[in-house]
Amino acid sequence: MGRHRRHQRTSRDVEEVKPRRHPFFTGWEFKREVLRPLVTNVLTAAVLFAAAVTLKPWIYGLFSAPRVPDWPIYCVFEPQVGDGGKMIVDLFVANLRDVDYTQDDLEALAARRTLGEGPTVSSIIRVELKDSVSNQAIETVTPDEPFNTGKGRLEPRRVDDRHWTIDIQKISKSIIVKFEIHTTVARRITARGDVDAVPVRIVYARKP
């Protein structure tokens, strides 16, 4: 009998200390003021994210030139190793085709690749400082004359402190030409493969 009473008291004690949910969390006001806006915001965010992912190619195409993955000209760059002075970047421009191209040839090819009334494909190569690089400049874009001899005629031109262009007047078949991009950016480069440290970007038909 004593054990039974103790058991009853223990049960009551457990019942007394059992946590009780505040009425606010179970009432209509909580559902209306907290849960409903929260669920709505989550669903709205999910819908906007899905729309952004789905429409990204279409939106991108409205404001930038279309990418041309089979463009015959290919560009690659490497930084020169340096001890922290002004950076010099080697830019290599390759003609991947067994065809000589003139400026007119490339412009005609670019015109055929332009879609409707959207941004046009360009045969011009643009050399630009990255947006993250401020208060700096591209000093010169200089062709490596001994390396480039007999391979065509590519003309660099200064637009402003941050922008240069390279016009391909003529480029021979299956060759590589080289330029040196001199910048005011001071960075220490220990390996030519450290391309992430390069302060410039190259914009052209393959990579608009």
Mean pLDDT over each residue of the chain, to the nearest integer: 79
Smallest Cα–Cα separation from 143: which of 157, 132, 133? 157
Confidence (pLDDT) at 98: 95
pTM of the shown model: 0.68
Q: Check pLDDT > 60 for residue 207.
A: yes
pLDDT, tens digit, for every residue of 93-142? 999 999 999 999 999 999 888 766 656 889 999 999 999 999 999 999 99
Q: Which residues pair with 83 in a beta bridge?
A: 188
Q: Which residue has the higher pLDDT, 52 or 94?
A: 94
> What confidence tier does 60 reach under pLDDT thresholds 50, 70, 90?
very low
Domains in the chain (CATH in brackets) are: 2-63 (no CATH), 73-203 (2.60.40)
The Cα–Cα gap between 179 and 156 comes to 9
Confidence (pLDDT) at 148: 96
> Average pLDDT for residues 193-197, to the nearest whole number?
90
Tell me the CA distances in angstroms from 150 to 72, 77, 122, 176, 202, one per residue in order.
Answer: 19, 21, 25, 11, 24
CA angle 165, 170, 174 (to 5 degrees): 105
Q: What are the backbone dihedrals phi and psi of residue 19, each rounded to the nearest 5 degrees, phi first?
A: -65, 140
Specify the residue for token string 């947006």.
Answer: 131
Q: Are 126 and 203 in contact (CB under 8 A)?
A: yes
Q: What are the backbone dihedrals phi and psi of residue 11, each rounded to the nearest 5 degrees, phi first?
A: -65, -40
